[in-house]
């Protein structure tokens, strides 16, 4: 897939959470600063999302859901002032990722098709609201 996308002129920025030794644990310090700007530890990941015009996620399902490292990535990186914001009345606004035009999720699994369908539904409901896609 990477070769084909490159051959078609797309610029790729590959993120392998395992290779980067991404820490999926949301620390108490981060939780207390949740509504503030991105900490230095996740700042590069936040910039990566805002540089992108498309996202392609490829991962296996674990226990009918996201792998823990990917769930931790979503919890730590897809946060206020990165993936959404709070307005002056503390209402959530999902207008922070208007740079994205395309989001594709490819799930591999060793379990049933039902597990895959559940995981896809979880992503569609949970993350789709962040994207300006129709």
Residue 77 lies in a domain: yes
- pTM score, whole prediction: 0.82
What is the 3 state secondary structure string of the chain?
CHHHHHHCCCCCCCCCCCCCCCCCCCCHHHHHCCCCCCCHHHHHHHHHHHHCCEEEEEEECECCECCHHHHHHHHHHCCECCCEEECCCCCEECCCCCCCCEEEEEEECCCCHHHHHHHHHHHHHHHHHHCCCC
CATH of the domain at 120: 3.40.50.360
Per-residue pLDDT tens digits for 25-66: 999 999 998 888 888 889 999 999 999 988 888 888 777 778
The count of structural domains within the chain is 1
Over residues 75-110, the pLDDT tens digits come to 999 999 898 888 999 888 888 888 888 888 887 776
**Domain range for 103:** 15-130
């Amino acid at each position: 897939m990477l070769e084909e996308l490159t051959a078609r002129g797309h610029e790729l920025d590959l993120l392998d959470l395992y290779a980067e030794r991404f820490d999926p644990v949301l620390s108490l310090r981060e939780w207390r600063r949740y509504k503030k700007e991105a900490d230095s530890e996740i700042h590069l990941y936040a910039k990566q999302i805002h540089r992108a015009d498309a996202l392609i996620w490829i991962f296996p399902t674990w226990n009918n859901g996201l792998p823990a490292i990917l769930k931790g990535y979503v919890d730590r990186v897809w946060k206020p002032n990165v993936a959404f914001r709070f307005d002056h009345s503390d209402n959530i606004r999902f207008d922070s990722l208007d740079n994205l035009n395309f989001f594709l999720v490819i799930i591999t699994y060793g379990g049933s098709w039902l597990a895959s369908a559940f995981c896809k539904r979880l992503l569609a409901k949970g993350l789709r609201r962040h994207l300006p896609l129709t």
